[in-house]
Structures are given as C-alpha cells and as structure tokens.
Chain A
C-alpha cells in the first residue's frame, strides 16, 4: 500500500513539473511584436493569415483541412481564437478549409460578400456560422476597419454588389487593402478583369504602390494585367498555388509582368508557407 502511494506521489510530481514547464513556455516566451502575413501552403487554393501577437485575421481557408495544420505551425499554442475570418468568394478552393476552422477555433466574426451560391461546401460553411451564432458582415466599399494597435483594413470590392457579378464568382472577390505603419498589403482574392476595372474606376489611388501583393487568382493571366500591375507596383508578390496544378498556374505572362515590375516573387509551391514580417517601418521575408 505504501508503495502505491509513493508511485502516485511520483506521478503527481511529474504532472506538476509538466504543468510548470507548460506555464513557463506560454508566459515567459520572447514576445513577438512584429506583424506577420503568412501565405499558408494549403495546396491549390488560398489561405492568408494576418497575425500580430494573439490577434489573427484569416483570409480564406484553402481547399481542405490542411489549413488547420498550417495554422498550428504559426499560431501561438495557447491561442484558440481567431478574431476575424474573411471569405473572398465561395469557390471550394477558398471556403472548404474554413469549415474546419470554424469548428475548431473560436471565430469572433466573419466578413464575406453575401452572395447566394448553390454548392454543398458553401451551404455547410453558412450553416456552421449560423450554428455557432457568429456575427457576419458584408463590408461596404471604402469601409475602414481598425484592427489591433495601428492596423487598418480598407475594403475595396464588391460591397453589396456581389450578386451582379455572379456569372463569374471570381469577380465577386472581397478585395481589401491592409495598412500597418508604412507597410501596406493588397489582398484581391481571385479578382479578375471586370473586378479590377471596377476598383481602378473607384479607388485607383488606394491600390497604387503597395508593398505586398497576394497575386490575384493563383497567378492566372486574368488576375494580373499590364494595367493593374503597373498601378499596384508591388515590392513583394506572393502566389498561392500547388505544384503541378491542373490549371497550369502560374501563367507565364503573369510571371513576366511581375518580373518586369521588379517585384520579389515568392510561391507556395516552391517556398512552402511564406512569412512576410514587418514592424511598421521595415519589412522582410523570413
């Protein structure tokens, strides 16, 4: 009997030791004051995480639940909350992974273009939001949203006009600009020609000369034209796509245009997850 109590004591001590280490690692780790934009390697699709400390904005979720393991790699261990999810448009390579995200993480709000679209995954995505009572929003064009200390999101497309472009869902993509100090980023989803035309007509100055561009539509030639790329003039361009994808993305024209403009090009098929960090003044790729 005495032996048994002894072994219980030992187990209890081991348990306490682990608890102590766990608390240390969480509370005494080096604080990371930088802002990160991760273009997550989720295969053929899009999933971009904007993260500052324990504040996250997730834009799209990729084609399957791989996004979960990618989030696991970059988010703080103790953080099971994502402050905001933005769905660019309801195509499966953008929405599918978000369902599992909604199931596993506490999501505080969801922004999307509000379009009616009849697909199983999109229905399940909306059902999950309703089930969890997560507030949703269809952001208006030019709506400005402040996030954490000095972050700023400016929505550029499509406002509440998504239904008008439903022939090509890519043109209903939520497009927004993100600012943090002198760092700026443009996330255009799968925005194609019509969508770019609309943005250029309304808000040409807001897309001009950004630091970071998530290249539209996985590097398709419809997403990047000579006109829009010369306005955007990005210093860093990231393309989210899978190796040997069936669409033969990225298109040659796109790569040539980006090279001509002099942008540093990173691709998730070659570089895996891309981590762009900034302190508001300088930026660098890890």
Chain B
C-alpha cells in the first residue's frame, strides 16, 4: 500500500497523458505479475515485486484520473448559456458565495463565484449566462491543482444567474443541508460575532465569517485547526454517543448507530479530507473494539490513506488538509507514547492525567506537522503547544454547550436565547486566549523562500534521528541492563 501511495505521489509530478503511456505501462505490470508467479516461493523477491506492482498501479492510477479530467472539453472564454444543479453547500466569504455546479451538457463540474445575495442552496437548478474561465495560480498557491482535487477545471465569475427549480439534488443531502442552514442561522441569531462564527466553526468546521484579524490571531497562536474540522470532532461525536448510549443498548447497536451518525456528519460537513480520514480510522477502531480485536495502527493509517487516494488520487499531493490530518495522526500514534514517559518523572507525576494527555497529544501532533506547516505557510507558531493545551480541553465542552443551546432554542425559543449565553463564555475564553497570546512579540515567526525548505529538511532529519534513538537504542540499552 505504501508503494501504491508512492506511485501516485511520484506520478503527480509528471503531467503524463494516460493514453500515451498505458500500453507500455500495462506491459510492465503484466511482466511484473508473471515474475511474481514464477518466483512465488522466494519471500524477498515476492515482496519486492509486489511493491513494484503496486507502485506501477499507483503511478498509472494518478495519470489516468488526471488525463480523464483534463480531457473534459469546455467552451472556455465564450459567452454561453447553460444550466446545472448546485452540487455543494454554498460557502460565503465577505461579499461572495462559492459553490459547485454540475452541468449535464458539459458532463462537468464548475466552480461558480457569485455575489453573496441572493443566497443559493444545494439542489437548486440554475440557468447561467456567462463565461467559463480557466483557473490561474496565484502567488505560490497551486490553485489549478487545488481545484482538480474537486474535479473542477472551469470557473464562472459574475454571471447572470436565475433559479429554474428547486430540490433537484439528493434527498438525504438536501435534508442534511437544510438542517445545517437552520442550525447555522440559529447560532448566528443568538450569538454575537465573532463568537457565533467560532461556534459554527468548531461544530461543523468552517472558517466562514471570521475577520482577517481573528484568522491572523488563530494562525499566530496555532489553533486554526479547531475551526478546520479534524478527527477531533469525529472522535468527540463517537465518545459522546457511546457515553450516552452505552448501558442502554449493546455494543453492536451502538457501533451501528455510531456509523450512521459519523457518515451523516461527514456528508453534512462536505466530506473534507481530514474528516473522512478521521471517520475511517475511528470507525475501524470502533469496529475493532466491537469485535474485540486491537488493530495495528500503522496498517490502519495505510489502509485509510489508500482507500482515499484510490477514490481521488489528487488528495495525496494537492490537499493540505489530507496531508496535515494524516501527519498529525501519525504523530499521535508514534510520538505520544514516547512523550508521555516524561510525565513518569517525579515532579511531573502529580499533574492530572487529562492535562498530561492534552500536552502530549498536542505536542506529538505539532512535532510532526511542523515541517509541512513551515513549507506551505511559512509561518510557525512557537506558543502553539501552550495555547493548544489551554484551549483544547474547553473545545468538547463548548461543542456540547452550543449543541445543547441550539436544541433548547428549537424546543423553547423563549429561553433559548438565555441558553446561548452559556456557550458564549467558553467561546469567549478561546477568543481571549487567541487575542492575548497572539499579541506576544514572539508568538510566531515567519520565514521566507529557501530557508523554509532548509529548516524543514534539517528539522525532519533531526526528529527522525531522535525517534530512532529513543525507540531503538534506549530501550535496547535498558533491556541489556
């Protein structure tokens, strides 16, 4: 599986035409397969050849998906009139809204950028008069490939849009999105800004509605991930559910209910890579717990990554959320049990377990995503471990409060508003922490150009060396002694 991912990754650097290479490539695969059968007694050769086969498959796979997407024929730059169905939950930013439109005539998905009002909704059939443009990369951001990850190669801006009809989408998705809209507007009606955006952000993950000022504070203190949905949210949902249901029903039913809720949640939030990652892994873990077997986490990570890349091979290289999410999880799996050992020493031993866990989990995720953050954003937050430890324990609480407040508001609107005041406090706390810590002079540093890469490489080698030292040599020494 590792070599399959590697194949996709390497392939993404070459913009190859699938149809030009496939005859040669398939021949190679056939040869590989036959070698595999000839030498199937020899374990080493078997492993090598098997890796080679997966590598080639991965390589082919990416170029196939890439070629298929690039072969869409769109009338770029011409004034056209066409109609399509809104296929995503429209997102607002400032005075604009963005959504995907599925156009049957072109057999393609387009990104539509329109004014904020009137607000469009999922499943609406729209008649559009305008120009389809090709996306362009800006600054150092690879916008073209970013959009390809969503299977989009055309953008329509400032077009004339008319609504033809409603409810042309998937029934279940329509219901979910209507619920989401209602939920968001309830929060927004009852909490002032920026608390309301934060409430929406931590529950269903959106950076919508934040001012640049707040976003900047979050980046400086390294807590942006709380509003970019992560595995954290999914885990919290599963934990809450099982806490609520355990004892009432048996494990199996509990597991089935968890699956349903997690899948609904993934759909509700637009299936971003990090949520899908978290959903796959936590469901597999829950499955393991249900049937009473412990899963090997390394295999789990590889399986989740392979499934996701097989479905959409662009996520591997062009989706920062995918990369961050997997790296953070890898950090959690491999580093946290090393870090927790520091707390076995005397003076630290008395610190409560919850804080110990918060510190180690934050640190282990931070340690490993750091080089990636460095190369992509060029900014690293130095106080991130501290702010995260201060904030993360509050997050599940605020999620619960916001959720409860919304339910109380639905049931009893008259006291619902008061209920929201309760969720105001933890949210305010998060914002205050971000505000004060971002104002510290050395809260974060910014790096430019080649320094980013040099530092990232040096850092990765350093961490790798420490890891090997800690896991191999130190324990080895101990066992001898």
Contacts and interface: CB of A to CB of B under 8 A. Distances in A.
Partners in one complex: yes
B243 A26 contact: no
A75 interface: yes
A65 B94 CA distance: 7
Task: Give the residue among A7, A15, A71 with the most B Cβ atoms within 10 A.
Answer: A15
B192 interface: yes
Interface string B390-434: 000000010001000000000000000110011011100000000
B190 A80 contact: yes
B425 A18 contact: yes
A18 B422 contact: yes
B195 interface: yes
Interface in A62-78: 63-66, 68-69, 71-72, 75, 77-78
Interface of A is mostly: helix
Nearest to A16: B422
A18 B402 CA distance: 13
Interface stretch (A96-104, A158-166, A221-229): A96-104
A121 interface: yes
B130 interface: no
Contacts of A14: 397
Q: Give the interface size class of chain B.
A: 20 to 34
A77 B194 contact: no
B41 interface: no
B117 A104 contact: no
Interface in A13-33: 14-15, 18-19, 21-23, 25-26
B466 to A, nearest CB: 37
B243 A4 contact: yes
Given A1-B247, A68-B193, A71-B193, A19 B422 contact: yes
Given A18-B422, A72-B195, A78-B417, A121 B188 contact: no
A72 B243 contact: no
A64 B115 CA distance: 11
Nearest to B404: A15
Interface in B226-255: 243, 246-247
A19 B426 CA distance: 11
Nearest to A63: B95
Contacts of A7: 243
Interface string B358-383: 00000000000000000000000000
A104 B188 CA distance: 6
A22 B421 contact: yes
A137 interface: no
Contacts of B185: 103
Contact of A66 (B195, B211, B247, B418): B211
Contacts of A264: none
A15 B189 contact: no
A68 B192 CA distance: 8
B118 interface: yes
Contacts of A103: 185, 188-189
Interface in B81-98: 94-95
A254 to B, nearest CB: 27
A279 interface: no
A120 B115 contact: yes
B421 A26 contact: yes
Nearest to A96: B95
A13 to B, nearest CB: 12
A124 interface: yes
B169 interface: no
A120 B117 contact: yes
A78 B422 CA distance: 11
B209 interface: yes
Given A18-B422, A18-B426, A96-B95, A72 B194 contact: yes
Contact of A64 (B94, B243, B401, B417): B94
13 contacts: A18-B425, A21-B425, A64-B94, A72-B196, A78-B421, A80-B192, A99-B117, A103-B188, A104-B188, A104-B189, A105-B189, A121-B115, A121-B117
Pairs A-B, 3 closest by C-beta atoms: A72-B192, A72-B193, A69-B193
Given A25-B425, A104-B189, A105-B189, 9 more contacts: A15-B401, A64-B95, A64-B116, A68-B193, A99-B116, A103-B189, A104-B188, A120-B115, A121-B117
